[in-house]
Amino acid sequence: MTYSVVFTETASGQLEAIRQYIASAADLGVAESYLDEVIDHCLDLDMFPHRGTSRDDLRPGLRTISYRKRVNIAFAVDDDTLLVTILGVFYGGQDMDAAFPSSDPDLS
């Protein structure tokens, strides 16, 4: 089965922030290439959505994977609808644990 992969507004905003950060430190081409790779890594969850690490300690059903040891990707899998939802994309040691308060509407 193939799952669909979608990004929350929060995750999309985080990707944009990463793009801007890398573009300011290197250049726009490098930033866009890197973000394309991160997005492709997320989209690869369509075939193997249950890979990564379970983080039920933060939120029931939350899973994480990393990309090049610099990006942590938080996502949830809905087996009933065959949907993987990318909830957050954390770059360079950002505190992922603090990003999942129980009142966050993206996590409902």
pLDDT tens track for 68-95: 989 999 999 999 999 999 999 999 878 8
Mean pLDDT value of segment 3-13: 97
Structural domain including 37 reads 4-92
Domains in the chain, number: 1
Question: Are the CB atoms for 32 and 19 separated by under 8 Å?
Answer: yes
Angle, alpha carbons 33-83-50 (nearest 5°): 80
Instruction: Print burial letters for 2-37: b (CB count within 10 Å at least 16), e (below 16).
Output: ebebebbebbeebbeebbeebbeeeeeeebeebbee
Provide φ and ψ at 69, rounded to 5°. Answer: 60, 10
Determine the pLDDT at residue 94: 82
Determine the pLDDT at residue 95: 85
Q: Looking at the DSSP assignment, which residues form a beta bridge with residue 85?
A: 6, 76
Q: Would you say residue 106 lies in a domain? A: no
Q: Would you say residue 81 lies in a domain? A: yes
CATH of the domain at 28: 3.30.2310.20
Determine the pLDDT at residue 103: 46
